[in-house]
Amino acid sequence: MKKVKLVYNSNAGQSKFSQFLDLVIEKFMQNDLEVIIYRAGDKDNLEEFLKDSDREELYGIVVAGGDGTLNKVVTIMMKYNIKTPLGVIPAGTSNDFAKHINMPNSYLDSIDKILKNNVCGVDVGRANDKYFINVCSAGLFTNSSQRADPNLKQTLGKVSYFITGAKELFKFRPFSVRIRADEEEYTEKINLFLVFNGSSVGGMTYFTSDSSIQDGLLDLIIIKNCNLHEVAILLSKAFTGNLEDKNIIYRKAKKIVIEKIKGNCDRPDVDGDEGPEFPIEITCIESGINMFL
Q: How far is the CB of 199 from Mg ion (least distance, A)?
A: 8
Please list every residue from 82 through 121 that binds Mg ion, using CB under 5 A: none
Q: How far is the CB of 120 from Mg ion (least distance, A)?
A: 13
Q: Which is nearer to Mg ion, 226 or 271 (CB)?
A: 271
**Residue 260: partners with Cβ closer than 8 Å, 6 or more residues away:** 175, 176, 177, 278, 279
DSSP output for 205-229: --SSTT--TTSS-EEEEEEES--HH
Q: State how far the Cα of 152 lies from the Cα of 159, in Å rounded to an integer.
A: 9
Task: Please classify residue 8 by burial: count the beta carbons closer than 10 Å to its beta carbon, then call 0-12 exposed, 13-18 middle and 19+ buried.
Answer: buried
Q: Which is nearer to Mg ion, 40 or 133 (CB)?
A: 133
Site for Mg ion (CB under 5 A): which residue of 7, 136, 190, 217?
217
**Residue 236: partners with Cβ closer than 8 Å, 6 or more residues away:** none
Q: How far is the CB of 286 from Mg ion (least distance, A)?
A: 9
Q: Which is nearer to Mg ion, 181 or 226 (CB)?
A: 181
Distances (CA, A) of 247 to 140, 142, 211, 230, 241: 15, 18, 20, 9, 15
Q: How far is the CB of 148 from Mg ion (least distance, A)?
A: 27
Give the binding-site size for Mg ion (rule: CB under 5 A): 2
Q: Which is nearer to Mg ion, 102 or 106 (CB)?
A: 102
Amino acid at 43: K
Q: Which is nearer to Mg ion, 7 or 218 (CB)?
A: 218
Q: How far is the CB of 284 from Mg ion (least distance, A)?
A: 6
Q: State how far the Cα of 243 lies from the Cα of 40, in Å rounded to an integer.
A: 39
Q: What share of the chain is helix, strand, coil (3-state, %, to 5)?
A: 30, 35, 35
Q: Which is nearer to Mg ion, 198 or 275 (CB)?
A: 198
Supply φ then ψ for residue 234, to 5 degrees.
-65, -40
Please list every residue from 156 through 215 that binds Mg ion, using CB under 5 A: 215
- Measured at the CA of 79, the angle between CA 77 and CA 82, to 5 degrees, comes to 35
Q: Which is nearer to Mg ion, 33 or 179 (CB)?
A: 179
Q: How far is the CB of 198 from Mg ion (least distance, A)?
A: 6
Quick one: DSSP state of residue 112?
H
Q: How far is the CB of 200 from Mg ion (least distance, A)?
A: 11
The site for Mg ion (CB under 5 A) is made up of: 215, 217
